[in-house]
Amino acid sequence: MDFDKYNKKHYYGDGYKKKRFGKKTFIFLVFSFVLVTILFSAFYGNGGITGNVIGSINQNNSIEIKTSFSVPEVSLDDEYKEIVLTLNKGGVINLDDKKITLEENENQVILKNFKGEIKIDENNIKYFKGKISEIKINNLPVIKESGKLKISLSQNSKYSFFQIEEGVYLKNVFFITSGNINVGEDSLNLNSEKVEIKNYFGSLTLENKKLIFNGLVESINIEGGSRKVTLSK
């Protein structure tokens, strides 16, 4: 994919002159504004666009990738069917008005239908807050009879594993990283290079201080040292 087309600016030449709006033009603009407002309200209503709608991409225009990157700070704000994580001893999970302190050295936590916000780096879950329909802590389920459970984790909770197996959509992200990218049978190694990912859809895993993407992407742009590489279909 040619990234230059996203950087073009539209401008007017020297021959461009301002024109006064006539009465008909003014009426047309007012009508257009009203029409756009009605259409916007009909399509978006009160809820806006969900993650699943935003997350759809054209598979025919995408390539399949798997990565193993050093971990930048990751911020997510969306809805996910399932999240699996392993929290260290001493971590605190807040469920509605209940506080659960984790006592095992490693505690597997499975969340169903999470909707909320997450901020995470290579060592800590810096922020985790949202709502879920169900949670399992070391295979023990907690289910609310009606409605959803409010959940939050103590700030900077230590973890060893974090995974969203499906439904992660990243429209456009930039970061500097080291590691490798596998595209089919080809592999590309990175060493502190700038990476731009456009329209990724798939899974996201953080384990052993590695960020693993496994899914489809429209394009990846890599820049560092004396090279510049674009991977696309």
Residue 191 shares a structural domain with residue 78 = yes
Contact in structure between 197 and 222 (CB atoms under 8 Å): no
Contact in structure between 215 and 110 (CB atoms under 8 Å): no
Residue 85 shares a structural domain with residue 30 = no
Q: Is residue 3 part of a domain?
A: no
Q: Give dist(CA 86, CA 179) in Å, integer.
A: 23
Q: Residues of the chain whose pLDDT is less than 70? A: 1-58
Residue 31 shares a structural domain with residue 66 = no
Distances in Å between the alpha carbon of 222 and those of 2, 45, 192, 202, 219? 13, 39, 10, 20, 10
Q: Is residue 8 part of a domain?
A: no
Q: Is residue 86 part of a domain?
A: yes
What pLDDT sits at residue 61? 81
Residue 45 shares a structural domain with residue 151 = no
What pLDDT sits at residue 37? 40
SS3 (DSSP) at 95: strand
Q: Is residue 67 part of a domain?
A: yes
Residue 201 shares a structural domain with residue 112 = yes
Residue 182 shares a structural domain with residue 108 = yes
Residue 114 shares a structural domain with residue 93 = yes
Q: Is residue 40 part of a domain?
A: yes
Residue 210 shares a structural domain with residue 174 = yes
What pLDDT sits at residue 225? 82
Residue 35 shares a structural domain with residue 77 = no
What pLDDT sits at residue 177? 92
Residue 87 shares a structural domain with residue 170 = yes
Residue 169 shares a structural domain with residue 221 = yes
Domain count, the chain: 2
What pLDDT sits at residue 42? 35
Q: Is residue 196 part of a domain?
A: yes
Q: Is residue 95 part of a domain?
A: yes
Q: Is residue 11 part of a domain?
A: no
Range of the domain at 220: 59-232
Residue 92 shares a structural domain with residue 197 = yes
pTM (2 decimals)? 0.73
What pLDDT sits at residue 142? 84
